[in-house]
Amino acid sequence: MVRDQFTSTERIESFSDGVIAIIITIMILEFRLPESALDQGLWLGIAKPIAPKIMSYALSFLMLTQMWISHHALMHNARYATPILMWCNNNVLFWMSMIPFSTMILGDHPFTPTAVALYGLTLAITAASFTFLRWLVMTQNEFHGETLALFKTAQNRSVLAVLLYFVAIPAAFFSVYISLAIYLSVPLMIFMWHVWLTRKILASHRKPKK
């Protein structure tokens, strides 16, 4: 069979883990103080220039964390590492690697509509790429019953996240606070979904076997 010639997804997951770790490292390396910062005193000299960067870093870290968790679950359920799956996975990693750039701009200009909109555009394309990757896994693997239902629910949440990010882009030119609230709400929504899913899985394992 042709499927027997495909490899497992372990290398995809390992490679993706490494790339995501590098992306997070790049973001933390952007924490630099201007030379004149300490002239204002230790607290003001550090807190004032760093606070917006911490905010943007935290938002991006939440986004990357929820995608890393979702990616792990996705690759765990994918049976075959087809060439198209590898290409689509690398497409997701490409857009994820752009997050440090938009994070840096947002940290430097936290209340500038263009910077906030650019950050949202990066998140929207990244989320859309991941949504397509999940759809591809669903089409290349035969899921049934509860597994298929969970995949469809997760896919619906991914589509909602993409729509919210795209709404946040024009909203930035009316109120950056609305956009920033959307950027925070999406990973929190996914987090609540992961909490619910974890409880569901643990509850199923606790049920006595007949």
Distance CA 87, CA 92 (A): 9
| SS3 letters across 14-79 | HHHHHHHHHHHHHHHCCCCCCCCHHHHCHHHHHHHHHHHHHHHHHHHHHHHHHHHHHHHHHHHHCC
Q: What is the pLDDT of residues 30-58, one digit of tens each?
A: 766 655 555 555 555 566 667 778 888 88
Contact 70, 190 (CB under 8 A): yes
Q: What is the pLDDT of residues 139-169, one digit of tens each?
A: 877 766 666 777 777 788 888 889 999 999 9
Residue 174 has pLDDT above 60, yes or no: yes
Residue 37, pLDDT score: 55
Residue type, 23: I
Q: What is the pLDDT of residues 87-105, one digit of tens each?
A: 999 999 999 999 999 998 8
Give the rounded distance of the alpha carbon of 181 from its chain centre. 16
Cβ neighbours, 10 Å, residue 18: 11
Tokens of 19: 């790339």
Cβ neighbours, 10 Å, residue 120: 25
Contact 101, 117 (CB under 8 A): no
- CA angle, corner 85, sides to 82 and 89, nearest 5? 145
Distance CA 34, CA 195 (A): 40
Contact 183, 120 (CB under 8 A): yes
**Domain span including residue 149:** 2-206
In 3D, which of 85, 87, 92 has the Cα closest to residue 6?
85
Residue 173: pLDDT band (50, 70, 90) is very high
In 3D, which of 84, 39, 32 has the Cα closest to residue 54?
32
DSSP 175: -
Q: What is the count of structural domains for the chain?
A: 1
